[in-house]
Structure 1
């Protein structure tokens, strides 16, 4: 009986490792199979994306500043200099002409939101929105954005700098164009995406009936 018991115990001990080995083997096989499927999936997506890029040659929309006019620009100092809360204010009228270009031959663009901001010494003085529109293949559209600032308070350092620039006959402005758009390829429409353009402008100040105009500028795009 003792020998029989010993034999049975040894049989149980021999069977347990075999079950463990089988479970581990199945788990390893399953993980390898899943990894193989993922590799095949991402490889297929990559090949499809490459084919689409080679066929369509997609390009981001481009925005070019064509001109800038400043009919009005005033710096109004506070009437009471002794009040700590008193601040200078700015009145301005800035008109920008921006060329929107769709360089794609097979892709159209929906411009859903176009917002233009104007700043002086990193202080925003106004913004405006341009109506949404659709641009077909290789379309070029001239946009006119007028930004008005009415009694916008600014820090004393900004007003002092602006008055100094006016006296020197050149003013530095910052323009920002934020665009929300989506692509149209045949019947397919992509998800919406943002394109941001930043510009630094040097303009002459208005004088009497003479409107200030653009002297130089530099722009760069940020996706």
Structure 2
């Protein structure tokens, strides 16, 4: 009787089914790697910001050397310019001038080999207008006579010293022998019929300037005179109808 009257718990049909407990599954390899990476990243020290290194001292030294060099060059140029300016104001340099006083033809003829032989004599006055500057005319000075880009003759200028405000008369002998003399002689004779023969006298004179007791380095006086003469008759004094001289100094 007792067994038949035992009460059993009733089942609630409307209650939602209870899910069976899920057993925890072991972590996958990816999860393990992620966990290990996280743990290792946590254990690693934080990155310290890198401070840029200072520029090497060699570059700084080079910049200083360049600046000093440029400064010294500029200072030297200023000193040179000031010195030249002072010398110019003290000595007041002027370029010497020259004039052609006379021209004589000693010989002008054709040789047997059809070359033209010429022998001229030129009288030149060299004027030094400077009050405090002397001029040394060194060896190697040349004077030449040209006709239409053809050199007829040439000669050497004498070497001498010209003092302050001095005028010196130079007598220069010139000789020369030119190829194609027959053609050149015919052109000179045709030009002589007009009574106006253009000649070009070119000067190349090495000189040294003297400032007080100081003798400067050698320079060159270059230039010439464009002449117009009436004839080229030998052994006669030639009349110079026009003369235009220009000279310059070359350092």
TM-score, with normalisation over the residues of structure 2? 0.70
Matched, 1:61 2:81: no
From the two aligned structures, give the one with the greater strand fraction: 1
| Cα distance in 2 for residues equivalent to 1:170 and 1:92 | 19
1:17 corresponds in structure 2 to 53
Stretches of structure 2 that go unaligned for 5 or more consecutive residues are: 1-42
Query: Of the two structures, which has the highest relative contact order with CA contacts closer than 8 Å and spacing of 6 or more?
Result: 1
Contact residue 104 and residue 235 of structure 2 kept, 8 A: no
Residues 43-74 of structure 1 deviation map (CA, whole Å, 9 limit, x = unaligned): 12211111111111112222222222234433
Residues 153-191 of structure 1 deviation map (CA, whole Å, 9 limit, x = unaligned): 336543332120123333222211110000112331111
Matched, 1:73 2:108: yes
1:83 corresponds in structure 2 to none
Contact residue 70 and residue 205 of structure 1 kept, 8 A: no
Matched, 1:141 2:168: yes
| Cα distance in 2 for residues equivalent to 1:220 and 1:63 | 9
Residue of 184, 187, 190 corresponding to 2:213: 187
Rg (Cα) greater in structure: 2
Stretches of structure 1 that go unaligned for 5 or more consecutive residues are: 79-85
Q: CA RMSD in A?
A: 2.8
Contact residue 205 and residue 221 of structure 2 kept, 8 A: yes
Contact residue 198 and residue 220 of structure 1 kept, 8 A: yes
Contact residue 71 and residue 212 of structure 1 kept, 8 A: no
Closer/same/farther in 2, CA of residues 203 and 72 from structure 1, 3 Å limit: farther
SS of 1:172's partner is strand
SS of 1:165's partner is helix
Q: Matches of residues 23-42 of structure 1 in structure 2 within 5 Å? A: 23-42=58-77
| Cα distance in 2 for residues equivalent to 1:36 and 1:207 | 66
1:100 corresponds in structure 2 to 126
| Cα distance in 2 for residues equivalent to 1:175 and 1:52 | 33
From the two aligned structures, give the one with the greater helix fraction: 1
Number of equivalenced pairs: 206
Residues 92-144 of structure 1 deviation map (CA, whole Å, 9 limit, x = unaligned): 33221111111211111100032111122211121111220001111110111
| Cα distance in 2 for residues equivalent to 1:24 and 1:110 | 52
| Cα distance in 2 for residues equivalent to 1:135 and 1:162 | 37
